[in-house]
Structure 1
Amino acid sequence: MADRKEISAATRAILLKMQINELTESIVYTKVAKQVSDEHNSKVLLKIAAEEQRHAEIWKGYTKVVAKPKLLRTIWFPLLARIFGFTFALKLMERGEGNASEIYATFASEVPEAEKIAKDEDRHEQELLAMLDEERLQYVGSMVLGLSDALVELSGTLAGLTFAMQNTRLIALSGLITGISATLSMASSEYLSSRSEGNTNAFKSGLYTGVVYLATVAFLVLPYLLLPNTAFMLALGIMLGTVVLIILGFTYYISVAKDVPFLKRFGEMATISLSVAALSFVIGIIVKKTLGIEI
């Protein structure tokens, strides 16, 4: 590779950082490509990896440094890809590097290739990532349905039962029965709805809805199973905290994987779930007082 003109120390430091990032991302894309079973997706990822490697070589011509990749990132993001899917992991990685166009603009006068590489990265990587077709993201609608319904319905049910029964074991028993029944109902409803719309993967839609619903039920009921019988208010508080954390985590996942606004979606889901829980708690008080039932 031909030598480039001399650049300032500040620019060299930036380029070295970019060189390391490009090299690291090239390795991550290559590793993730080996994890992907779909041949099309694997080719897309390998193509991005080659682009990143080429950019790293260009920066090397300026820095004159044989850089090493960030080892932890080359382990962490492939691991995330195995757990949460490659689309989420790779988009999260790209987010962490900031806006390439803005960074490259700071030294474009010294490095002629900077502007072209910035445009290449913005265009190619977005186009290539948009081509990725990951199964679990095709069923986001089904997962959102299962999650939102479970959070709203079960958090409300548990909140109402908390004051009405005031016994963690009875609340857990009632919550589990309600949750499991609702899981089967929601999964079958999603299956029938998808099938009526001509969806050839209706079974998977129902399965995703059911699995997410059941997992949510387990997390929400768990505090009532672990705490003493008299600690029903503490269990309620932990359950509501769990609701917020589940919404936070799932909303963040969707916002990264699907490029949708995070705060607005989180605010909507959290407000609805907590409002229903508060209303159900009040209803539990009213019903108990009105009927004069003591447990």
Structure 2
Amino acid sequence: MRPRPQMNKALRQQQNEIDDYLIYTALSRIEKDQKNKKILKDIAAEEKRHYEFWKKITRKERKARRWIVVLYALMARYLGTSFALKLLERREEGAEEFYRELFDIYPEAKTIYEQESHHEKLLIDMLSDRKLLYAGAIVLGMNDALVELTGTLSGIALAFDKSALVGITGLIMGIAASLSMAGSAYLESKESPAEGIDPAVYALYTGIAYIFTTILLVGPFFLFETTLPALLLMFAAAVAAIVLYNFYISVARDQPFWKRLKEMSLITFGVALVSFGIGYTVRTWFGIDI
């Protein structure tokens, strides 16, 4: 009989396999792209074989946890299939040591580990994810809004110590800029067409990302009468947006999280600091007190 701690690990791995099997099966049923559907079915079949392997070891049945299946299905629907499945497969990164302990005892474990660590990742990389195709549009809208508005709002807030005035000014500028950015994104996409990308949809993603970021950043100025707490909350919201977005991209595109986070943060808050200095200079030199 296997030692209890190792048996517990085997049961946990068995549970993951049956969860994954149902997740891939559910996604394959709602997937419209036939190529994607086949890939998802292939991975589901592998997960089912892995479950049967662990079942022979533990001699126990496991049922899929429905809430996990629903969670990943929602992530796939709203955040993209690539993001949901790559986040799902990250669970296997910590399983290498456990699998290696079983190689000598159960030779089949080596085959399963290789499938988990290589084959399934290759299959996921082959998926055609339309949401990921438009990630560039989200970058364009969100990053531009973060850089421009944190800088602009910081400068205005120091020049005019009226929170509502700053918020209204930022909102007007943000909406106007979002329309301008959407138009520019449309023309850019038309001039440099990419396979699978609709210029109108690309422009829509850019504009929506810009407006959403605008609302996130100007919102605090309608919550406080003075600008200092509004500025602090605005910067907190900007940090949260940068962290969440870079986490999404790092998972969906297998890119380094910390490098992207530092780069985007330095640009955003560097511009804000310069704008803050300009606002302070304008207020001091011209004696503005509005």
Give distance in 2, aligned partners of 1:130 and 1:151. 30
Identify which of 113, 116, 138 aligns with 1:118: 113
Does residue 214 of the first structure (1) align with residue 222 of the second (2)?
no
Whether the 8 Å contact between 1:187 and 1:206 is mirrored in structure 2 is: yes
Superimposed CA distance per residue, residues 155-198 of structure 1 (whole angstroms, 9 cap, x where no aligned partner): 10000010111111111111011111111111111111121123
- Is 1:195 aligned with 2:185? no
Q: How many residues align?
A: 288
The 10-residue stretch of structure 1 (284-293 or 214-223) with the greater mean CA deviation from structure 2: 284-293
Partner amino acid for 1:161? I
Residue of structure 2 equivalent to 1:168: 163
> 2:152 touches 2:272 (CA, 8 Å); kept in 1?
yes
1:16 aligns with 2:24: no
1:198 and 1:257 mapped to 2: Cα distance? Answer: 22
Of the candidates 62, 76, 92, which is equivalent to residue 87 of structure 2? 92
Question: 1-side partners of 2:102 and 2:9: how far apart?
Answer: 9
| Contact 1:194 1:205 (8 Å CA) reproduced | yes
Which residue number in structure 1 is paired with residue 64 of structure 2? 69
CA-to-aligned-CA distance 1:143-162 (integer Å, 9 cap, x gap): 11111111000010000010
Task: Tell me the CA shift for residue 281 of structure 1.
Answer: 1.1
**Which is worse superposed, 19-28 or 35-44?**
35-44
Letter in 2 for 1:80: M
- For 1:98 and 1:188, the matched residues in 2 are separated by 43
Once the two structures are superposed, residues 173-230 of structure 1 have per-residue CA deviations (whole angstroms, 9 ceiling, x without a partner) of 11011111111111111111121123462222222111111110011011112223xx
- 1:250-261 equivalences in 2 (<5 Å): 250-261=245-256
Q: In the alignment, which of 36, 40, 47 is matched to residue 35 of structure 2?
A: 40
In structure 1, how many angstroms separate the alpha carbons of the residues matched to 2:242 and 2:19? 31
**Unpaired runs of 5+ in structure 1?**
1-5
Alignment pair present for 1:223 and 2:220: yes
Residue type at the aligned position of 1:98: E
Superposed structure 1 runs of 4+ greater than 3 Å apart: 6-13, 99-102
- Mapping of residues 238-277 of structure 1, within 5 Å: 238-277=233-272
Q: 1:146 aligns with which of 128, 141, 144?
A: 141
- Name the SS for the 1:98 alignment partner: helix
Measure, in 2, the Cα distance between the counterparts of 1:198 and 1:61. 53
1:233 is matched with 228
Task: Check conservation: 1:100, 1:122, Cα contact below 8 A.
Answer: no
- Cα distance, 1:9 vs. partner? 4.8
Distance in 1 (alpha carbons) for counterparts of 2:24 and 2:217: 37
Which moved further from structure 2: 275-284 or 257-266?
Answer: 275-284
- With 152-161 and 189-198 compared, the bigger mean Cα shift is at 189-198
For the 8 Å contact 1:162–1:232, the answer to whether it is kept is: yes
**Unmatched segments (≥5 aa) in structure 2:** none
Does the alignment pair 1:133 with 2:128?
Answer: yes
Which amino acid in the other structure matches residue 187 of structure 1?
A: A
Task: Please list the CA deviations of residues 50-99 of structure 1 after superposition, one character each: whole Å capped at 9, or x if unmatched.
Answer: 11001111121122111223343223222222231222111111113434
C-alpha RMSD over aligned residues: 1.7
Q: Structure 2 length normalisation: TM-score?
A: 0.93
